[in-house]
Amino acid sequence: MTEIVSTRVPDNMAKDLEEIEKEENSDRATVIRKLLSQAIAERKLERALKLYREGKITLWKAASISDLTLWEMMEKVNERKIPLQYDFEDFHSDFEDALKEK
């Protein structure tokens, strides 16, 4: 299912969209969907990393929030030099979450 979403953008943003359309030889709707998808993915990742850094969620939960694999999330944590916070309780919680996802 799809939903129509409309919004007004400043002239400079509309010009940027036009440039991207030309570069990618694509229509405006496709460009906007692609950019919105990228922005949402980045927002999910940043939120998950923040919660993980604060010790509020496990690494597995951060990966789940971000729609990443555990290994991909570990790479993101490493890239940002966030210390791994993992103890037996985290392992147990991750194990239980993994069983639920099957």
- Please give the pLDDT value at position 84: 83
> Given this model, what pLDDT does residue 102 score?
60
The pLDDT tens digits for 63-94 are 999 999 999 999 999 999 998 877 778 778 77
* Measured distance CA(97)–CA(13) in Å, rounded: 41
The tens digit of pLDDT for each residue in 10-61 reads 999 999 999 999 999 999 999 999 999 999 999 999 999 999 999 999 898 9
Has this prediction a pTM greater than 0.85? no
85 vs 70: CA distance, rounded Å: 14
- How far apart are alpha carbons 93 and 59 in whole angstroms? 10
Q: What is the pLDDT of residue 95?
A: 80
